[in-house]
Amino acid sequence: MPSDVLIKGRDAAFFAERLAKALPDLRFDAAHDPAEALAKCANADILIIRTDEIFPELVAKMPKLRLIQALTTGTDHIQALPNLGKQVVLAAARGFHGLQMSELAFIFMLHFMRDFRDLFETQAAHRWNRVEQRLLVDRTAVIIGVGSIAEDLAHRCKVFGMRVVGVSDGRGEAPYFDAVLPRARMNEAAAQADFLIVLVPHTQETTNLIGASVFNAMKPTGVLINIARGGVVDEDALIAALQAGKIAGAGLDVFKTEPLPKDSPLWDMRNVFITSHVGGMADTYGDQVMPLLVENLRAFSEGHQEKMRFIVKR
């Protein structure tokens, strides 16, 4: 029997229409909010969803569920579901986020080099203020995690004339990196960083990986950039480091609790630049992810799970 595929999310109709044309033997339905998803989920054996949009009640009402195809790189929210059976295959969406993630990293880096906040305030005050501009050339970016996104970012850093150091236990060298150090030498790497950029997934091993010891090792002019997962950074230690002047600033796209609570002191810190977990988003995201969705759904529906890409081990 052909699979029934439920797609949940704000752009569910777009995906349903495109996928139906590419895979006419499958049945697709779109749900734009939780209530609609609950009303349509009973017969679906495949669910396509962003990891932060899933909820236990939805899985509980899908007795036929065999595959969850995430629309995101991270799948931690899905894996944390208490009622997700081991028989359900989970696949991530990876391999195409490098462009948008790298651009966000550069927004953060340029913000702190050129002081965008001051530039906007100067314009608002109608004040002409010519000052020397700090350049990225010869600055050191230390990237925690050396995967495909990190490679993409490292490539762009080299175009700007930057030095790039990676931290990874999985690789001893990588394209565009001047050096790759093991995690045991994290503080040694952090001490070199003008920008410490976090690009590792959130796992038990990486929870609070970036904490007080790392901040103490950094230069007081160093900046933390987290575009990975909030749980990788010890937020209390980060706040303390910022308040004490241990580091110069932080560019943060992700947080331990999202949305970031309104009473978080991070909101009001002048040396913190906050974005709302937009790092993986792009106006071309649908086109970016579509080939992977078609490939994985076709392989799964034809019984060739071994041909699927980015299956998550759990």
* Local confidence band at 223 (pLDDT 50, 70, 90 cut-offs): very high
Task: Please state, in angstroms and as integers, the Cα–Cα distance from residue 148 to each residue in 55, 153, 190, following that order.
Answer: 29, 9, 21
- Taking each helix axis as running N to C, give the angle between helix 116-124 and helix 98-114, from 0 to 180 degrees, rounded to the nearest 10: 60
Considering the candidates 17, 103, 173, 258, report the single residue annotated as catalytic. Answer: 258
Q: Over 80: is that where the pLDDT of 305 sits?
A: yes
HSE-CB of 129 using CA atoms within 13 angstroms = 13
Q: What is the pLDDT of residue 292?
A: 98
Q: What is the pLDDT of residue 2?
A: 74
Q: What is the pLDDT of residue 83?
A: 93
* Local confidence band at 191 (pLDDT 50, 70, 90 cut-offs): very high
Q: Over 80: is that where the pLDDT of 1 sits?
A: no
Considering the candidates 94, 139, 156, 229, report the single residue annotated as catalytic. Answer: 229
Active site residue 229: yes
* 30 vs 17: CA distance, rounded Å: 9
Starting at the earlier edge strand, list the strands of the sheet with 195-198. Answer: 179-181, 163-167, 140-144, 195-198, 223-226, 249-252, 272-274
Q: What is the pLDDT of residue 314?
A: 87
Q: Do domains 4-96+282-307 and 98-274 have the same CATH topology?
A: yes
Starting at the earlier edge strand, list the strands of the sheet with 67-70. Answer: 27-31, 4-8, 46-49, 67-70, 89-91
Active site residue 10: no
- Characterize the bridge pairing of strands 89-91 and 249-252: unpaired
> Class assignment of domain 98-274?
alpha beta
Active site residue 53: no
Report the predicted TM-score, pTM, of the whole model to 2 decimal places: 0.92
% of the chain with per-residue pLDDT over 90? 97
Mean pLDDT of the chain: 97
- Which stretches does DSSP call E strand in the chain? 4-8, 27-31, 46-49, 67-70, 89-91, 140-144, 163-167, 179-181, 195-198, 223-226, 249-252, 272-274
Q: What is the CATH number of domain 4-96+282-307?
A: 3.40.50.720
Considering the candidates 18, 27, 66, 277, report the single residue annotated as catalytic. Answer: 277
Q: What is the pLDDT of residue 180?
A: 99
Domain boundaries, the chain: 4-96+282-307, 98-274
* Local confidence band at 196 (pLDDT 50, 70, 90 cut-offs): very high
